[in-house]
Structure 1
Amino acid sequence: MEFADVVRRRRMVRDYDPDRPVPPEVRDRLLEHATRAPSAGFTQGWAFLVLESAADRELFWSVTASEGAPDAWLTRMRRAPLLVVPLSSKDAYLDRYAEPDKGWTDREEARWPVPYWDVDAGMAALLILLTAVDEGLGACLFGVPAERVDGFRAAFGVPPSHRPVGVVSVGYPGADDRRSPSLRRGRRSLDEVVHRGRWLTPGP
């Protein structure tokens, strides 16, 4: 598939065929491509928790979803045969930039204008999303609720050094092709988001 087509076709898929697992070789390509994401200082401070057995996926949903009967979103999302949790490590970046070739002599977090450990893990997640499209799969990036991160850590033994920046569900799209109501907002035009040379406030 041409790259431009991959970008245009990328969307969040929220329903999956539960009877079609992601082939191992495709899963491995998703992860291999994720490691090609850019990273500050070539730190590569990410990690990827792969959940594909029925038991692991059920455990994930049990510790991250709200109690009570699942709503339509959760019912459809739970059909995904593969979940990949990209995790970021702040310590890896603070350590890397205290090395001699970077010129800093300490691990001061205030030096960082934005948390590049999360930015880099997010870019790795995007490569998973794009690779899924190229492989004929559907995928969706969503978050672990803040109040459930501790339970997620405990369930899967995730150390304090790493935090989830999201979860990517992957699988063959299911029959329910409904789109998010948020799409009614429409895609913003280039004129609304691009500022050339200086910041210009769009007119009325």
Structure 2
Amino acid sequence: MEFADVVRRRRMVRDYDPDRPVPPEVRERLLAHAIRAPSAGFTQGWAFLVLESPEERDLFWSVTASDGAPDAWLTRMRRAPLLVVPLSSKDAYLDRYAEPDKGWTDRDEARWPVPYWDVDAGMAALMVLLTAVDEGLGACLFGIPAERVDPFRDAFGIPATHRPVGVVSVGYPGDGDRRSPSLKRGRRGLDEVVHRGRWGAAG
């Protein structure tokens, strides 16, 4: 598939065929492409929790979903045969930039205008999303509710050095997949978001 087609066809898929697992070789390509994402200082301070057995996925949903009967969104999302959780490590970046070739002599977090550890993990997640399209799969990036992060950590033994930046569900699209109503807002055009040379100077 041409890259332009991959980009054009990428969308968030929220329903999956529960009877079609992601082939192991495809899962490995998803992960191999994830670690090709750029990272500040080539720190590569990411990690990926892969959940694909029914027991692992059931545990994930039991500790991250709200109590009570699942709504339609959760019912469809739980059918995903593969969940990939990208995790970021702030410590890895603070350590890397205190190394001699970077010129800083401390691990002061104030030097960072934005948390690039999260940015880089997000870019790795995007590589998974794009690879899924190229492989004929569907995928969706969603977040773990703030109040559920600690139970998630406890359930899967996530160390304090890492935090989840989202979850990517992957699988073959199911019959119940429908486009998000948010898409009715329309995609903003280049003339609305591009500023050339100075803010407010469109073109």
- Give the TM-score, by structure 1 length: 0.98
What are the Cα deviations for residues 118-166 of structure 1, in whole angstroms up to 9, with x where unaligned? Answer: 0000000000000000000000000000000000000000000000000
CA distance in structure 2 between the aligned counterparts of 1:40 and 1:170, rounded to whole angstroms: 27
CA shift, 1:178, in A, is 1.1
CA distance in structure 1 between the aligned counterparts of 2:132 and 2:121, rounded to whole angstroms: 17
Residue 174 of structure 1 corresponds to 174
One-letter amino acid matched to 2:113: P
CA distance in structure 2 between the aligned counterparts of 1:20 and 1:186, rounded to whole angstroms: 32
CA shift, 1:177, in A, is 2.8
5+ unaligned residues in a row in structure 2: which ranges?
none
CA distance in structure 2 between the aligned counterparts of 1:178 and 1:56, rounded to whole angstroms: 26
5+ unaligned residues in a row in structure 1: which ranges?
none
Q: Which aligned runs of 4 or more in structure 1 are off by greater than 4 angstroms?
A: none
CA distance in structure 2 between the aligned counterparts of 1:195 and 1:21, rounded to whole angstroms: 44
Q: Within 5 A, what are the aligned runs for 1:10-49? A: 10-49=10-49
CA shift, 1:98, in A, is 0.1
Is 1:78 aligned to 2:75, yes or no? Answer: no
CA distance in structure 1 between the aligned counterparts of 2:99 and 2:128, rounded to whole angstroms: 30
- Give the TM-score, by structure 2 length: 0.99
One-letter amino acid matched to 2:174: G
CA distance in structure 2 between the aligned counterparts of 1:60 and 1:170, rounded to whole angstroms: 14
CA shift, 1:176, in A, is 1.3
Question: Secondary structure of the equivalent of 2:86?
Answer: strand
Is 1:191 aligned to 2:191, yes or no? Answer: yes
Q: Within 5 A, what are the aligned runs for 1:28-107? A: 28-107=28-107
Instruction: Say if 2:16 and 2:177, in contact at 8 Å, map to a contact too.
Output: no
Work out the percentage of aligned pairs sharing the same amino acid.
Answer: 88
